[in-house]
């Protein structure tokens, strides 16, 4: 019995090591996608980004096709496609947006906790950025659901807080948006993601500056001294 248990344990450890090795190999390819995406987004002229992102999206699709059980492969195909759609900025982007949504949903199906549940961040962002039906699939309730989940799973994440700030700003919840941007700015560094962190932090600073200008332009509530009630004009 002991020899059987020992053999079973050794076999289990062997399978575990094989799994870790395969995952490390997958991570190398995903990390390369991350680096190329960061370079295009933050170090490439805007007029050149569309072509570069289209090329990178094809590379991501190839990796995903070769790694059909890898949630991170779907995640990064979805992220790259959503960024590519943003670089197009017209109705031509709808096909890329739809494919991005599908890839992110598949990532969650395969592993809801892949990359700390990052697919929730980007799905939520898509749902509040794209137009509503009949043009596209925009849905503020679904956006909130996914973004809330992203914050629940990774409350200090720079991307989750940045995009949650965008969502709150669009909802005119300015003080909450301000808090989210501040949290994004002070988010802990991600090893190997230095360029992406700097770029996102710079974006959060710019968003925060614009938000505070807007907040300062809003007249304060008028106080009714007789009844102690507040009203706005």
pLDDT digits (tens, 9 = 90+) for 141-177: 999 999 999 999 999 999 999 999 999 999 999 999 9
Q: Do 39 and 144 fall within a single domain?
A: yes
Tell me whether residue 92 is in a domain. yes
Tell me whether residue 225 is in a domain. no
| Mean per-residue pLDDT of the chain | 86
Q: Do 97 and 74 fall within a single domain?
A: yes
Q: Give the position of tokens 């990774």.
A: 154
Q: Do 108 and 163 fall within a single domain?
A: no
Q: Do 61 and 176 fall within a single domain?
A: no
CA 118-124-125 angle, 5° bins: 95
Q: What is the pTM of this model?
A: 0.82
Tell me whether residue 233 is in a domain. no
Q: Do 127 and 169 fall within a single domain?
A: no
What Cα–Cα distance (Å) separates residue 57 from each residue in 25, 68, 120, 123? 20, 16, 20, 17
Q: Do 116 and 167 fall within a single domain?
A: no
Q: Do 132 and 164 fall within a single domain?
A: no
Q: Do 176 and 73 fall within a single domain?
A: no
Q: Which domain holds residue 211?
A: 156-193+200-216
Q: Do 140 and 168 fall within a single domain?
A: no
Q: Do 142 and 124 fall within a single domain?
A: yes
What pLDDT does 218 receive? 83
Task: Answer for the pair 107, 99: CB distance below 8 angstroms, yes or no.
Answer: no
């Amino acid at each position: 019995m002991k020899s059987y248990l020992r053999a079973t344990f050794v076999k289990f450890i062997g399978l575990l090591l094989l799994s870790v090795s395969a995952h490390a190999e997958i991570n190398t390819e995903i990390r390369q996608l991350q680096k190329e995406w960061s370079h295009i987004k933050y170090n490439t002229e805007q007029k050149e980004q569309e072509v570069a992102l289209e090329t990178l999206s094809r590379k991501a699709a190839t990796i995903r096709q070769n790694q059909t059980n890898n949630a991170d492969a779907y995640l990064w195909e979805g992220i790259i496609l959503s960024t590519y759609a943003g670089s197009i900025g017209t109705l031509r982007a709808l096909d890329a947006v739809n494919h991005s949504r599908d890839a992110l949903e598949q990532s969650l199906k395969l592993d809801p906790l892949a990359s700390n549940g990052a697919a929730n961040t980007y799905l939520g962002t898509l749902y509040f950025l794209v137009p509503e039906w009949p043009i596209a699939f925009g849905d503020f309730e679904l956006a909130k659901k996914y973004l809330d989940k992203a914050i629940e799973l990774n409350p200090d994440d720079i991307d989750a807080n940045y995009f949650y700030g965008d969502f709150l700003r669009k909802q005119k919840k300015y003080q909450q948006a301000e808090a989210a941007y501040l949290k994004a700015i002070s988010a802990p560094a991600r090893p190997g993601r230095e360029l992406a962190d700097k770029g996102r932090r710079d974006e959060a600073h710019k968003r925060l500056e614009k938000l505070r200008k807007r907040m300062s332009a809003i007249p304060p509530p008028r106080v009714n001294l007789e009844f102690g009630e507040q009203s706005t004009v």
